[in-house]
């Protein structure tokens, strides 16, 4: 039997700073709600979590990190930290999307995540469907994954109710929504533990849409020859 891995995972893609430690098959989670300040808090939270569970950085076998979609700056904070820790410790870092975290332990689901301004991020994790992640507008959906009717897929995720209602209208019912099996940060941890031996790519942000940023009104600098 392979030894159980020790995994540290974290996520700052939304209005929180969340972390978990998986050791000896047991998970300990810490989630702190915050709209800003994740960059200043993250490393302290990780240090606290390790110390409280008699674990050192050298004990870790892998890093898990949430890659979004979500807050542009928050995603970059966590992904940058994961890459730096993995490089410094010589262990793998595994990026896990919020879609995969919401669908952990489930199949045949349409994952729905909240987005700003009456929108939602949607990904159909359904065989035979278009599985590209996309941004849809609520309450009117201008685009939606092509999901075969025979799949009888259900909706999952924090925006499942809103997306399901907008997509199906009066035909939408409670039976069309399935609950997430574990909280997202714990799902990130379990997925990272399973993938760490085979992961070859460094974690990268998943944005789905370009960041909200207005172009500068100032003239660009002159580049000298």
pLDDT tens for each residue of 181-217: 899 999 999 999 999 999 888 999 999 876 555 544 5
pLDDT in tens, 15-66: 999 999 999 999 999 999 999 999 999 999 999 999 999 999 999 999 999 9
pLDDT in tens, 68-102: 999 999 999 999 999 999 999 999 999 999 999 99
pLDDT band per the 50, 70, 90 thresholds, residue 223: very low
Percent of the chain surpassing pLDDT 90: 76
Residues 106-128, mean pLDDT to the nearest whole number: 94
Listed residue (14, 12, 21, 7) closest to 42, CA to CA: 12
pLDDT band per the 50, 70, 90 thresholds, residue 222: very low
Q: What is the mean pLDDT of the chain?
A: 90
Q: At what angle do helices 72-89 and 38-52 cross, to 10 degrees?
A: 40
Query: Would you give the distance in Å from CA 100 to the centre of its chain?
Result: 7
User: Cβ of 26: how many Cβ atoms within 10 Å?
Assistant: 9
């Amino acid at each position: 039997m392979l030894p159980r891995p020790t995994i540290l995972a974290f996520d700052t893609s939304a209005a929180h700073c969340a972390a978990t430690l998986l050791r000896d098959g047991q998970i300990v989670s810490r989630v702190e709600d915050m709209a800003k300040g994740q960059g200043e808090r993250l490393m302290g939270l990780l240090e606290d979590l390790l110390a409280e569970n008699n674990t050192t950085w050298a004990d870790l076998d892998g890093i898990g990190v949430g890659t979004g979609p979500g807050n542009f700056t928050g995603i970059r904070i966590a992904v940058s930290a994961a890459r730096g820790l993995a490089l410094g410790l010589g262990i793998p870092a595994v990026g896990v999307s919020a879609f995969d975290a919401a669908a952990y332990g489930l199949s045949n689901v349409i994952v729905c995540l909240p987005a700003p301004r009456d929108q939602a991020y949607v990904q159909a994790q359904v065989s035979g469907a278009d599985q590209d992640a996309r941004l849809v507008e609520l309450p009117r959906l201008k685009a939606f994954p092509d999901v075969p009717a025979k799949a009888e897929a259900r909706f999952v995720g924090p925006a499942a109710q809103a997306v399901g209602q907008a997509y199906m209208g009066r035909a939408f019912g409670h039976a069309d929504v399935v609950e997430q099996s574990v909280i997202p940060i714990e799902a990130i941890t379990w997925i990272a533990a399973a993938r760490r031996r085979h992961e070859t790519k460094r974690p990268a942000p998943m944005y789905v849409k370009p960041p909200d940023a207005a172009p500068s009104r100032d003239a660009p600098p002159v580049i000298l020859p």
